[in-house]
Amino acid sequence: MTVTLAPGNRGPEEQHARPAGSTHREAAVAVNAKKIAVYVLVVFVLYVIITDPANAADYVQIGFEGISDAAKAIGDFFTWLADGAQ
């Protein structure tokens, strides 16, 4: 059995739909913003490493410690969930 709704009988989400293509434009803007943010971050990291090489190793160590701590916290959380969340 196939049910087809007439244009006037569609749900509220389709009656108030955005103009065609607007979601694609919004997604493209979000992707471009992410690319710009990553580019700025990479440039900043390179700038810090080049201008202060003596402390660059310390910065890298701090970054890896942060990543390690985050991974451990995620592991602890899933262990807590597997143990029944008690």
Q: Which residues are CB-neighbours of 86 under 8 A, at least 6 positions away?
A: 80
Q: What does residue 80 show for φ and ψ, rounded to 5 degrees?
A: -60, -45
Q: What is the pLDDT of residues 21-30, one digit of tens each?
A: 567 777 788 8
Displacement of CA 11 from its chain's centroid (Å): 31
Distances, alpha carbon 39 to alpha carbons 30, 35, 44, 61, in Å:
14, 6, 9, 22
In degrees, rounded to 5, the angle at the alpha carbon of residue 58 between the alpha carbons of residues 47 and 66 is 100
pLDDT, tens digit (0-9, with 9 covering 90-100), for 6-57: 655 555 555 555 555 567 777 788 888 899 999 999 999 899 889 988 888 8
CB 49 within 8 A of CB 56: yes
pTM: 0.47
